[in-house]
Amino acid sequence: MKRKLVCCLAAVIYFSGCGYQGQGYKQLEEIDSLLSHEMVDSAWNLIEHFNPWQLDEKTVAYYHLLYAQSRYKAYRPFTSDSIINLALDYYESNGDQEKLARCYFYKGGILLDLGKKKDALISLKEAEKLLEPSGNDILQHNVYLFLSSINAIYKEDSLALKYAKRALDCSMRTKKQVHLAYDYEKLLVIYNTLGEKDSSLYYTNHAMKVIDNIPSNPPILRARLWGNLGVAYSSIDPERAETFLEKAISLMPQDTFETIALFVSTVANFSPPSPLSEIVFVTMQ
Contacts for 56 with CB less than 8 Å, ≥ 6 apart: 21
φ/ψ (deg, to 5) at 282: -60, -40
Q: How far apart are CA 30 and CA 33, in angstroms?
A: 5
Q: Using a CB cutoff of 8 Å and minimum separation of 24, what contacts does 21-26 make?
A: 21/55, 21/56, 21/59, 24/50, 24/52, 24/55, 24/59, 24/63, 25/58, 25/59, 25/62
Q: 271 pLDDT exceeds 90?
A: no
Q: 176 pLDDT exceeds 80?
A: yes
Quote the percentage of the chain above a pLDDT of 90. Answer: 51
> Tell me, what amino acid is at 151?
N
What confidence score (pLDDT) does residue 253 get?
60
What confidence score (pLDDT) does residue 257 get?
52
Q: What is the pTM (predicted TM-score) of this model? A: 0.76
What confidence score (pLDDT) does residue 220 get?
76
What confidence score (pLDDT) does residue 37 get?
87
Q: Which residues of 171-206 are buried (b: 16+ CB within 10 A; e: fewer)?
A: beeeebbebbbbbbbbbbbbbbbeeeeebbbebbeb
Q: 279 pLDDT exceeds 60?
A: no
Q: 258 pLDDT exceeds 70?
A: no
- Specify the DSSP element, H or E, that contains 206: helix 197-210
The model's pLDDT over 26-39, given as tens digits with 9 standing for 90+, comes to 999 999 999 998 89
> Tell me, what amino acid is at 122?
I
